[in-house]
Amino acid sequence: MNLSELATLAAYFFVLSILAFYGWHRYVMVYWYKRYADHVPGPRPQLDPLPVVTIQLPIFNEMYVVDRLIDAVCRMDYPKELMEIQVLDDSTDETVDVAALAVRRWQLQGFNISYLRRTDRTGYKAGALEAGMNVAEGRYIAIFDADFVPPADFLHRALPQFGDPQVGMVQARWGHINADYSTLTRIQSIMLDGHFVLEHGSRNRAGCFFNFNGTAGIWRRDAIEQAGGWQHDTLTEDLDLSYRAQLKGWRFVFMQDVITPAELPVEMNSFKSQQFRWAKGSIQTCIKLLPQLLSADLPFRVKAEAFFHLSANFNYLLMVALCVLMFPSMYVRYNMGWSEMLLIDIPMFFAATFSVVNFYAFCQMQAYPQDWKTRLKYLPLLMAVGIGLSVNNTRAVLEAILGKQSEFVRTPKHGVERNGDDWIGKKYHQLMIWQPMLELALGLYFTGTVFYALANGIYGTLPFLVLFQVGFLYMGGMSLLQQFGGEEAELSTQIAGE
């Protein structure tokens, strides 16, 4: 074995080892969820008297869903004289007229609802929330994004947790209006269930930090102010504020049984845009706050979990490196004997991948005990999509590391709730050209790698190679099909969801 071959193998196993290490962390999440099951926040008595609550609705070009949001908020089962509703509109299109008309309609019914429009997007969503809070009346601030439909009893179920004076924020679990619309929305619903049920649930039960998700939650105003307010130097202002508030000693509560439905993106490029913003913002927050977290007077478990949480998206860099190294390392080791490959590769890949299966299967069992088994068929494609996101999210991570600033691009929503709802003919489509082409190229690269493994009898690696192949072909192919396929693209989406 020459030096270049040795370097290839060393880099390959180094990358795979780190990915396996993060994979094992998912087992910790499952263990904590079960180990601290008795730490679930229970019901508390209603606050007496009921407080004034400011409900902020930040929107930007959301003409298809803003009516649905405002109507749902105004129909919540809470004394309307104790609700101050702020529609924080930065829109530049017809949303302005739609939102203003909806506000006027509910004002005529006696609601304290105001329409606050900014002429610029300084600070983006964080700036809008800050501007609204400057004139807010309430000591508690609930926030809902445009694509959410809060249940009528949301305030009555969430507010009692603030009877504990140390509670600074209460986060509800996201539900899914259109989970059954397509294969893509089903995969997203499982991903988000994992984040909320297991990640939030486990961290909260174990006494570790977790984050407000930007919507479907309530803040104590004092917690926002003491933490330094809304800041807009990251794309995840919610994650940033969450960690600053908890560093100040505020305690957060996750209410798994309070579910607030939201619309999932039906367009692949919208999904990628959302993932890009979350990945870049989390690394920006990691760079900004992790040194402070690690030097704070906190238990080791809290620091360790914060490290895993904030640094997780660095794994996308490793995924791209693994993609590049996979075939060369296979070629080198084939000449050494394929049995050695099985003895080394398979256990490490198993550690990195089976933890994902265990994580999401356990999550579905907890969230949907009646029919969780029927959802497991989507796990292989979920894993493939996670791999296929590596190009998109690696770009996000690199931009965060290099300090490149970018606009807060909100995730387009089209008011799609059920099969048959149109989205192709609506506004807010996002274009990507070079990235889907790169994803397709990687898909073809792994297609060649699959054939090489078949030709040489290296069957043990085939399941993992196919995940990479399908992930990149699906991500790149769906992006291009939906951009240029017109009605055919919508039809293919619908068929995939049946």
Residues classed as catalytic: 90, 238
Give the span between the Cα atoms of 201 and 253, in whole angstroms.
9
Contact by Cβ (8 Å): 129, 221: no
| Closest to 188 measured CA to CA, from 345, 360, 310 | 360
Write down the residue that tokens 């999509």 correspond to: 385
Contact by Cβ (8 Å): 158, 71: no
Phi, psi torsion values for 219, nearest 5 degrees: -110, 145
CB atoms closer than 10 angstroms to residue 256: 18
Give the span between the Cα atoms of 84 and 307, in whole angstroms.
38
Q: What is the DSSP letter of 148?
A: B
Q: Which residues pair with 255 in a beta bridge?
A: 172
Give the span between the Cα atoms of 495 and 253, in whole angstroms.
40
Give the span between the Cα atoms of 355 and 351, in whole angstroms.
6
Q: Which residues pair with 142 in a beta bridge?
A: 55, 218
Give the span between the Cα atoms of 274 and 28, in whole angstroms.
27
| Closest to 476 measured CA to CA, from 329, 335, 268 | 268
Give DSSP secondary structure letters for 326-394.
HHHHHHHHHTT-HHHHHHHHHHHHHHHHHHHHHHHHHHHHHH-TTTGGGGGGGHHHHHHHHHHTHHHHH
Q: Write out the E strands in 247-347.
A: 251-262
